[in-house]
Amino acid sequence: MRRQATSLPLVTLGILGVLGCGTTVQTAGGPVLRGMPPPLQEVRAEAAAVYEQVVMGNDEVAFAGPGRVEQAWREARRRVESDGAPAEAVGAVGAAVTALRWSVTRRDDDPLAMARAANGVIGATAALVSFYRPGLPPDTLHLDYLQRELALDGLAGDLASAAAHARELERAWLAVRAQVLAAGGRQQVAAFDASVGAVREAVAGRDLERLVRIANRGAALAADIHGVL
């Protein structure tokens, strides 16, 4: 019998109040990427759904999510292995899916554990995405992952982690910005420039509520960048 989950931290509850519980968080956790086999895209989409439900406090829905991710991964694994994907990349996603399953047991100690583990699954798929899309800059695949990590840092009130992830986001963005611009993504570049700058300001100003809002919108902006390249 599952123990009663503890309440979210006060900072999380306060930010959820600002976001508006019951509304959809725009995280774009599973953007459709051209050239991706549907089963692998399904893994990303199911993991994104877990992230969104945890962030919105919908525990009963979220608890069912890891099982759906595992089911999606079983099918995706057969496909990517038959396509000759690197064993290391396959193993990384498998490990992340297992970590998501076990994160349910940590819910009492860390209410956001499932959300971080779900984002970890999406992040772990980057090597497989690169296998199917070798021309896609690897750092591009980290943009949405880092934005969601920043949102979780804000919800947890972890400014030190937020500062570290903000620096990672800036480095990743600088690594791909010129290529996005060259591909005709002037509008997307302007929007993501603004997002990265706003993240920096929110972290420097210790404004957790703003950080969560900006980072969740930034994850959606990253999906737009995927569509350009």
34-135 maps to which CATH number?
1.20.120
Consecutive H or E run containing 149: helix 140-156
Instruction: Delimit the domains of the chain by residue range.
Output: 17-25+136-229, 34-135
- As a whole number of angstroms, the distance between CA 95 and CA 116 comes to 14
The beta strands (E) that lie in the chain are given as: none
Whole-Å CA distances, 120 to 14, 50, 103, 126: 25, 11, 11, 10
For the stretch 140-182, pLDDT in tens is 989 999 999 999 999 999 999 999 999 999 999 999 999 999 9
CA 98 to chain centre: 17
The DSSP symbol for 31 reads: -
Residue written as token pair 């349910």: 104
The single-letter code of the amino acid at 165 is H
Which pTM does this prediction carry? 0.84
Name the residue among 107, 81, 111 with its Cα closest to residue 93: 81
The DSSP symbol for 172 reads: H
For the stretch 11-64, pLDDT in tens is 443 344 333 333 334 444 444 567 789 999 999 999 999 999 998 888 778 889
For the stretch 191-214, pLDDT in tens is 999 999 999 999 999 999 999 999
